Amino acid sequence: KQEVTQIPAALSVPEGENLVLNCSFTDSAIYNLQWFRQDPGKGLTSLLLIQSSQREQTSGRLNASLDKSSGRSTLYIAASQPGDSATYLCAVRPPQGAQKLVFGQGTRLTINP
């Protein structure tokens, strides 16, 4: 059974810092891995999608990497801003299960001005 873990559960950093969020998964057999952002009480916003054959994806100040063999992904946020404060979730798509995503519990990020 696929399990996804995100550490730390919460992170607080001053504005301007570069930071890394971690995601690990137990089964390396995945179609892809997706990073999401969730603001309090809101839905999920897709940030980056990495296919199993890819090593990384970039969008603006965000960079996500994937090491399937070790079951790890990282989300790098450069020059953090207060508007980046949110919960960040990673999710993997197992090969059996169509559109089913298996989520981690998330990292709650606070950027202090």
Residues that bind another protein (CB under 8 A): 31-32, 34, 36, 41-46, 49, 51, 89, 91, 93, 95, 97-106
Give the nearest distance from C-beta 103 to another protein in angstroms: 4
Q: Is 79 left (phi over 0), alpha (psi -120 to 50) or beta?
A: left
Q: Which is nearer to another protein, 11 or 44 (CB)?
A: 44
Which is closer to another protein, CB of 30 or CB of 77?
30
**What's the gap between Cα 44 and its chain centre?**
12
Shortest distance (Å) from residue 98 CB to another protein: 4
User: Two tokens at 112?
Assistant: 């202090």
Residue 94 buriedness (CB in 10 A; 0-12 / 13-18 / 19+):
middle
In the complex, what is the shortest distance from the CB of residue 79 to another protein, in angstroms, rounded to a whole number? Answer: 25
